[in-house]
Structure 1
Amino acid sequence: MSMMMIPMMISLILPPVVFALAFCLAARSSADREKTSPFECGFDPHKTARQPFSLRFFLLAVVFLVFDIEIVLLLPIVMEATSKTVVYGSIIFLLILVIGLLHEWREGSLDWTSSTKQ
């Protein structure tokens, strides 16, 4: 056998053996049924879909997404910025986002202590 055949044979034999061992050794019972059920946002997928959704959770998720995407898009531009217009534009954009965040905070959308307000 050549030197290329040994690693190729190992790579073809080892994954099925490991998969078969894991499948045989895995303990499956009816108690594990809850672990394998789909889970999304705390809702039971087998119940009705017409349940009230927390508007506070939605608003906080939107605020998080806005700031997360803003960081992902703006940080590489600022790090590689060579002109002053890019830096000034980024600062203006950040100021607009901070003003929006302060407005959300003053409005009470980020306050989770009072759960009655929607």
Structure 2
Amino acid sequence: MLNTSILIILISIIIMVIASIISKKTFMDREKSSPFECGFDPKSSARMPFSLQFFLIAVIFLIFDVEITLLIPFILIMKISSIKIYSFSIIFFLLILIMGLYHEWNQGALNWTL
């Protein structure tokens, strides 16, 4: 079993070395890495500007969206648990959500600035 594993690893390493030696090497130059616009120089940057504020709002939305979906099982738990345990767990979960929202608000992540 050990000999077979060593043989397989050895064959894999040999094939990777041969493939890297035989493979066609490409050299990066300015013309190949620049965007192509029908043979002309591009008029503007090929990359669009990225809004970090939009990204932060989108991530916050996804986090709270996932947390809201975690609230759905609480409806099913209500049938099988006592009202005291149910109330404590739902209040604790909502308190965590509210604290997270307050933290984001306090850090200024919810302020939309242009």
Larger helix percent: 2
Structure 1 or 2, whichever has the larger Rg, is: 2
Query: Under a length normalisation based on structure 1, what TM-score does the superposition of the two structures give?
Result: 0.46
